[in-house]
Structure 1
Amino acid sequence: MLSRPAPLIALLLSATSLASCGPSGPPEPPPLSEEALAAIGEDPGAPTKALARETDELFTLDGLGETRALVVMHGGKIAAERYAPGYSERTRFVSWSMAKTVTAVMIGMLVADGQLRLDAPAPVPRWQRPGDPRAEITLRQLLQMRSGLEHTEAGDPPYESDEVRMLFLDGRDDMVDYATAQPLEAEPGTKFEYSSSTSVILADIAARALTDSRSPDARRKAVADYLHARLFGPLGMTSAVPEFDRSGTLIGGSLIHATARDWARFGELLRNKGSVRGEQLVPRQWVEEMVKPSPRSPQYGLQTWLNRPVPEGMEQPLFPNRAPHSAFSAIGHMGQYVYVSPSQKLTVVRLGHSNAEERRAMLEQLADVIELYPAS
C-alpha cells in the first residue's frame, strides 16, 4: 500500500481546516433587543423581525440625528410605536411646518362651508386698494405657494429670512401684517416659493371668514373653537394645541402641538380621504385636491409635499425612487414627518431632531421601513 508524503498530508489538512473556518454566507445580524421587539404590534402587516430591526435602526444608527417618536400604522392599526428616553405617548410634539397641512384642511372645510372660494382672489383687505397687483392673487395660488410675494424662507444670516423675522423678530406680534406687507417679486401664479408667511396669510383668511371681530381674543377663540369642534374633536386629536400670535392669528405655518398618536390620526384622516369611522369630516374632493401637483411644483400640492419625481435642481424632500408616487407627507423643520401612502395602507409618523445632512440619511432609513409594505 502506497503512503502519501507527509508534507502533502499536512497541506490537505490545513486546507480542510481553513475551509471549515471560512464564511458560509453573510454575517448574522446582531440579535434584536427586547425594546426593538416590544415596539412591534401583534399583526404589523410586515415581517415582525424585519420591521423591528428597521425601526430600531431609526433610533440607534449613527448619523441620523435623534428620533424621538415613531408610529407606524397599517390598515388603521398601530403596527409599530416607539419613543426615545424622555418621551412617551403623552408627549406633545411641535409640528413646525406640518401645521401647514392642517391649515390647508381648515381652509378646505371653509370652502366646503361656502365661506371661501378656491379660485377667487384671496380676501386680504390690504390688497384691495385700487391698482394693487396683489389683488390678483387667488386662494389656490396661496395654497400652492405660488403667490408671487417676496418671501424669503431661509436667509444667510438666518435672522434676515422672512420666516425668522416674522416668527421671532419684528413681525412676531402681528404676523399677518408682516406677511401681507411684502411686495410682489413675480406675477401671481408663475413661481413656486415655499413660505411660512404664506401659511399665516391663509390662517388670517380663515379667521376673517369665522369672525368679523378684530379683537385678538375673539379671533383666537373663533379659530380654536372651529378646529376643535370640526376637526380635532371628531378626529380624536384631543392633545392638539394650536398657537396664536398677539394679534390672535393662528401661526398656521409652524406651531401646532400634538402627540405622535394624534399626528398619526391626522395622517389617517388624509389616507381615508377625509373620512373617520364613516363620518366625512373633510370633503373627499378637497383631500384629492390637496395631493394634486401644482403647475409650478410637481412635488407640492395644497400645503402638502408629494412623493413625485422633480426636474434636476428642484427640491424633493421625500423619496420617489423608493415609494409610490401617490404618497404624500406633512413635513416639519428638523425632520418632522406625517407620511401617508394610501396604496400601502400606511401612515408613518417620525418626530425628532435631524439637521440637513442627517435628514438625508434618516430618510433612507425611513424608506427601509416603508419598503416592507407592498403597494396594493
Structure 2
Amino acid sequence: MRSRVPSLILTLALLPALFGCSSQSAAPPAPEPLDAAALKAVVEKPGIDRERLARAVDTLFTAPETADTRAVVVLRDGRIVAERYAAPYHENTRFISWSMAKTVTAVMIGMLVSDGRLRLDESAPVPAWQRPGDPRGEITLRQLLQMRSGLRHVEAEGPPYLTDTARMLFLDGRDNVAAYAEAQPLEAEPGAKWEYSSATTVILSDLAARSLTTSTDPAERRRVVQDYLHTRIFEPLGMKSMIPEFDAAGTLIGGSLIHGTARDWARFGEFLRNRGAVNGAQLVPTTWIDFMTAPSPRNPGYGAQTWLNRPQVDDGHVEWPGAPASTFSMNGHLGQFVVVSPSQGVTVVRLGKTDEGQHAPVRAAIARIIQLFPKEPPK
C-alpha cells in the first residue's frame, strides 16, 4: 500500500495540467466545406468576405428551418453581389408578390398625390362612404395607408375560409374586391387603431382607378391603372417582367397579386433605398418615401404599407434582429421579403414558401446577411 501512495499523489497533482491540455487542444470543429453552388452564387469581390457571405446565403437554402427558399438576391450599392436559385427556379421566373404588392401600391398612390389627383389628409373619395351621417366618410387616405382606417377586418385568424382576406380574394368578394372591402363597417374610430388589412390596400387600388378615370367599365379601369404602373414605375425602373392582376371589376389586386422576377423585386427595393429616384430621375418625391418609412402613430413597426425594423405594437418583436433600426421591408405571405438597409447600401430579396408562424428563422437568416456589411460613413 505504501508504494502506491506517491503515485496516487502524483496523479492527483497532474490532473489540472491534464485537463488544461485537454481544453486547449479541443479546437472548434472546422466548418463544412462549401459546395460549388454556394460559392458560385457570390461574385469574386463582393466587398466583404466572400465565403462568409456565401455561407450566410447558403443557410437560407440548406437549413431545415429556412427550407424552401427559392430565390435570393443581395445587392450592395446597386450591384448584385450574390444571387442564387433553387431548381427549377431561375432568374427569369416570375414570383408572386403576395403582400409585397402593398408597397408598390403605396408608391403608386404617392405619385397620384404628387399629380394632385388624390389628397393625403382629406376624406377618402369612396362613393359608398359619402352619404350624410356615414362615419366612414371621416377616413383619410393617410389612415388607409397606415392601416388605421378603423374598418372591421379579419386578416388571417381562425379557419381561412372565414377570414375577410380569403372571402374577398377567393370567395364571395372575388368579382369586386373593392366593393367587399368598402362595405365593411367601422369597428374603431378612424385613426385610433392599427390593424393589418389587405382590404385596406384594395380600397387604395380602387381609389387609384377612380382618380384616373370616371368610367366603371372594367376593361377601362384595368387599362388606365396598368398603363400608369408601367409608364410611371415599371418601365423607368427596368422592371420588364411585372404582371399585376385585376379582378372582374377592373380593380388592381394591389394588396396581394403582382408577379415579377427576383431581380425586378430587387430593382424596386433599390428604388426605395434611393428614396424614389432611379438613374438620377426623381419618380416620386423623397418626402413620400420618408412618409412610407416613418412609424405610424399606432404602430412604430409599420409605416405606410411598409414594415419597419422597430418594435411591433402587438408583441414588441422586431422584423430584422440585429439589423440597423433604419431597415425597412416589403413582407409577403409565405415568406416573400424585400429588405432594405439604407445605412449599409444593402437590399436583400428572399422568395420562397415558408408557412405562416415560422418566419422568424428566415428573418434572422436575412438579418445575418445584412449584418455582414459595414455601415457606410455619414455623407
TM over 0.5, shorter chain: yes
Give the conservation status (yes or no) of the 8 Å contact 2:310–2:318: no
Give the conservation status (yes or no) of the 8 Å contact 1:117–1:139: yes
In structure 1, how many angstroms separate the alpha carbons of the residues matched to 2:316 and 2:163? 19
Structure 2 residue aligned with 1:272: 274
2:109 to 107, 128, 148: 107
In structure 2, how many angstroms separate the alpha carbons of the residues matched to 1:301 and 1:89? 30
Task: Give 1:277 shift.
Answer: 0.7
- Could you tell me which amino acid in structure 2 is paired with residue 362 of structure 1? V
Whether 2:122 is the aligned partner of 1:120: answer yes
In structure 1, how many angstroms separate the alpha carbons of the residues matched to 2:317 and 2:139? 25
Structure 1 residue aligned with 2:341: 341
The change in CA–CA distance for 1:106 and 1:315 in structure 2 (over 3 A counts) is farther
In structure 2, how many angstroms separate the alpha carbons of the residues matched to 1:365 and 1:331? 15
Task: Give 1:156 shift.
Answer: 1.1
The runs of 5 or more residues in structure 2 that have no matched partner are 1-6
In structure 1, how many angstroms separate the alpha carbons of the residues matched to 2:47 and 2:24? 37
The runs of 5 or more residues in structure 1 that have no matched partner are 1-6
Structure 2 residue aligned with 1:292: 294
Give the conservation status (yes or no) of the 8 Å contact 1:104–1:302: yes
Structure 1 residue aligned with 2:242: 240
In structure 2, how many angstroms separate the alpha carbons of the residues matched to 1:178 and 1:291? 29
Cα RMSD (Å): 2.2
In structure 2, how many angstroms separate the alpha carbons of the residues matched to 1:59 and 1:215? 45
Whether 2:305 is the aligned partner of 1:308: answer no
Structure 2 residue aligned with 1:369: 369
- Could you tell me which amino acid in structure 2 is paired with residue 178 of structure 1? Y
Q: Provide the secondary structure at the position in 1 that maps to 2:178.
A: helix
In structure 2, how many angstroms separate the alpha carbons of the residues matched to 1:106 and 1:334? 24
In structure 1, how many angstroms separate the alpha carbons of the residues matched to 2:312 and 2:359? 19
Name the stretch that deviates more: 124-133 or 279-288: 279-288
Whether 2:88 is the aligned partner of 1:90: answer no
1:193-220 superposed Cα distances (whole Å, 9 cap, x missing partner): 0000000000000000011110000000
In structure 2, how many angstroms separate the alpha carbons of the residues matched to 1:78 and 1:119? 39
1:331-365 superposed Cα distances (whole Å, 9 cap, x missing partner): 00010000011001000000001123431112111
The change in CA–CA distance for 1:331 and 1:57 in structure 2 (over 3 A counts) is same
In structure 2, how many angstroms separate the alpha carbons of the residues matched to 1:316 and 1:235? 33
In the alignment of these two chains, the number of paired residues is 367
Structure 2 residue aligned with 1:56: 58
In structure 1, how many angstroms separate the alpha carbons of the residues matched to 2:318 and 2:22? 48
Structure 2 residue aligned with 1:197: 199
Q: Provide the secondary structure at the position in 2 that maps to 1:212.
A: coil
In structure 2, how many angstroms separate the alpha carbons of the residues matched to 1:328 and 1:316? 14
Q: Provide the secondary structure at the position in 2 that maps to 1:63.
A: helix
Q: Provide the secondary structure at the position in 2 that maps to 1:267.
A: helix
Structure 1 residue aligned with 2:74: 72
2:30 to 28, 31, 48: 28
In structure 2, how many angstroms separate the alpha carbons of the residues matched to 1:222 and 1:21? 71
Give the conservation status (yes or no) of the 8 Å contact 1:65–1:359: no
Give the conservation status (yes or no) of the 8 Å contact 1:174–1:246: yes
Q: Provide the secondary structure at the position in 2 that maps to 1:349.
A: strand
Give the conservation status (yes or no) of the 8 Å contact 1:65–1:358: no
In structure 1, how many angstroms separate the alpha carbons of the residues matched to 2:53 and 2:161? 41
In structure 2, how many angstroms separate the alpha carbons of the residues matched to 1:315 and 1:69? 29
Task: Give 1:67 shift.
Answer: 0.4
- Could you tell me which amino acid in structure 1 is paired with residue 368 of structure 2? D
In structure 2, how many angstroms separate the alpha carbons of the residues matched to 1:31 and 1:65? 20
Give the conservation status (yes or no) of the 8 Å contact 2:302–2:312: no
- Could you tell me which amino acid in structure 1 is paired with residue 163 of structure 2? S
Give the conservation status (yes or no) of the 8 Å contact 2:177–2:202: yes
Identity, % of aligned pairs?
Answer: 61
Q: Provide the secondary structure at the position in 2 that maps to 1:28.
A: coil
In structure 1, how many angstroms separate the alpha carbons of the residues matched to 2:198 and 2:307? 14
Structure 2 residue aligned with 1:40: 42
1:253 to 252, 255, 260: 255
Give the conservation status (yes or no) of the 8 Å contact 2:165–2:198: yes
Whether 2:224 is the aligned partner of 1:226: answer no
Give the conservation status (yes or no) of the 8 Å contact 2:92–2:261: yes
Give the conservation status (yes or no) of the 8 Å contact 1:172–1:245: yes
In structure 1, how many angstroms separate the alpha carbons of the residues matched to 2:353 and 2:330? 16
Give the conservation status (yes or no) of the 8 Å contact 1:71–1:261: yes
In structure 2, how many angstroms separate the alpha carbons of the residues matched to 1:148 and 1:118? 17
In structure 2, how many angstroms separate the alpha carbons of the residues matched to 1:334 and 1:130? 42
1:134-188 superposed Cα distances (whole Å, 9 cap, x missing partner): 0000000000000000011113111111000000000000000000000000000
In structure 1, how many angstroms separate the alpha carbons of the residues matched to 2:368 and 2:23? 33
The change in CA–CA distance for 1:352 and 1:24 in structure 2 (over 3 A counts) is same
Structure 2 residue aligned with 1:3: none
In structure 2, how many angstroms separate the alpha carbons of the residues matched to 1:302 and 1:247? 26
1:253-302 superposed Cα distances (whole Å, 9 cap, x missing partner): 00000000000000000000011010111111111111010100101111
- Could you tell me which amino acid in structure 2 is paired with residue 273 of structure 1? R
- Could you tell me which amino acid in structure 2 is paired with residue 257 of structure 1? H
Q: TM-score, normalised by structure 1?
A: 0.93
In structure 2, how many angstroms separate the alpha carbons of the residues matched to 1:74 and 1:103? 25
Task: Give 1:22 shift.
Answer: 7.5
In structure 2, how many angstroms separate the alpha carbons of the residues matched to 1:317 and 1:338? 16
Give the conservation status (yes or no) of the 8 Å contact 1:65–1:355: no
Q: Provide the secondary structure at the position in 2 that maps to 1:172.
A: coil
